[in-house]
Amino acid sequence: MTAQVVSKQVALNEEGFLVNPAEWTPEIAEALAREEGITLTPRHWEIIRFVRAYYQEHGKSPTLRQITAELGVPTKELFQLFPKGPAKKVARIAGVPKPEGCV
Amino acid sequence: MAETTRKIAFVCSKGSLDMAYPALIMGWAALGNGVEVMIFFTFWGLDIITKKRMDALQLAPVGNTSLRTGMMGLPVDVGMPQIASILPGMTAVATALMRKKMAEMDVPPVSEFLQMLQDGGAKLYACKMTADMMGLSQEDFIDGVEIVTASDFIDMTEGAQIVFI
């Protein structure tokens, strides 16, 4: 019998975002998603992986429009997967800063 | 205490290209942050949701003291002489320039932007009185627009923050 526990402590800023995006682990994403009332599915992970890869490549978080356009996720689906505020929620769960772009 | 969702209602009363985007951009930002969004189109703002007009909105240089030559990629950044702004074709030039600048910022055209907003859950309303006045009806507007009276709007926006553009 095994038990899996979250043992790592990570620092969050006053808005609840990871202070250091490099500290992110999938386990942290699960924990943050749970706080938001979201159960992560493979589709969520696809978006999270895209957001992290984008951040690593460009040094900034993608906007919602970049996620929908470049990953081919319909806007409706993005708002269903991360209800009530996907811009903040996606970035927070993926462990990257809030997107700076407006669109 | 139950958590209530913040609501913002935008009133779009102008139909020029530069006056269409503020509500679209702020509305989209609000949806992204989990805020409920209503956009009420009235008077010239009805152009923004009118199928035949929405992607033909213009930016008029006449009387616009903020237009500068630097925006056109010229090396000298001075105000556009107002006398030049009345020349035929200047509105088309200013409009094309603004469209190009918006596209460079990855801002979609009005029709696509409205679809994004609706997909994100924003509600779009047309003012009944001004629609009647301009001879516009449901089939002139994009899908999803609801025609309401000013009184309906007042009822719907109870507790909402209102931004008039």
What tens digit of pLDDT does each residue of A54-90 get?
Answer: 999 998 899 999 999 999 899 999 999 999 999 999 9
Contact A103 B121 (CB under 8 A): no
- Say whether pLDDT at A26 is over 70: yes
Range of the domain at A75: 42-95
B10 membership: H or E segment, kind and range: strand B7-12
Contact A103 B108 (CB under 8 A): yes
Q: What length is written for chain B?
A: 165
Of the partner residues A68, A74, A84, the one whose CB lies closest to the CB of residue B34: A84
Domain membership flag for residue A1: no
Task: Looking at the complex, report in whole angstroms how far the Cα of residue A101 sits from the nearest Cα belonging to chain B.
Answer: 9
Tell me what pLDDT residue B30 has. Answer: 95
Does A88 lie at the interface with B, CB-CB under 8 angstroms? yes
pLDDT-based confidence at B3, cuts 50/70/90?
Answer: low
Exposure pattern of A13-45 as b/e (b: 16+ CB <10 Å)? Answer: eeeebbeebeebeeebbeebbeeeebebeeebe
Task: Decide if A102 is catalytic.
Answer: yes
Residue of chain B nearest A66, judged by CA positions: B106
Domain membership flag for residue A57: yes
Domain membership flag for residue A71: yes
Domain membership flag for residue A78: yes
CB of B91 closer than 8 Å to CB of B18: no
Does B105 lie at the interface with A, CB-CB under 8 angstroms? yes
- Interface size, chain A vs chain B, as Cβ–Cβ contacts under 8 Å: 44
pLDDT-based confidence at B116, cuts 50/70/90?
Answer: very high
Name every chain A residue with its beta carbon within 8 A of the beta carbon of B5: 84
Domain membership flag for residue A47: yes
pLDDT-based confidence at A5, cuts 50/70/90?
Answer: low
Cβ atoms < 10 Å from Cβ of B101: 11
Which is the catalytic residue, given A3, A11, A102, A103? Answer: A102
- Say whether pLDDT at B2 is over 60: no
Tell me what pLDDT residue A4 has. Answer: 58
Percent of chain A with pLDDT over 90: 47
Of the partner residues A74, A85, A102, the one whose CB lies closest to the CB of residue B34: A85
Which of A23-27, A95-99, B92-96, B120-124 shows the highest mean pLDDT? B120-124
Domain membership flag for residue A31: no
- Could you tell me the maximum CA-CA distance found in chain B, to the nearest angstrom? 61
Tell me what pLDDT residue A55 has. Answer: 93
Does A64 lie at the interface with B, CB-CB under 8 angstroms? yes
Query: Which has more pLDDT, A48 or B72?
Result: A48
CATH of domain B7-164: 3.40.1260.10
- Say whether pLDDT at B139 is over 50: yes
Q: Which of B3, B5, B33, B104 to mutate to test the interface with A (most CBs of A within 10 A)?
A: B33
Average pLDDT estimate for A34-56: 92
Domain membership flag for residue A5: no
Query: Which has more pLDDT, B76 or A44?
Result: A44
Domain count across chain A: 1
Q: Tell whether ipTM is more than 0.85.
A: no
Name every chain A residue with its beta carbon within 8 A of the beta carbon of B106: 63, 65-66, 101, 103
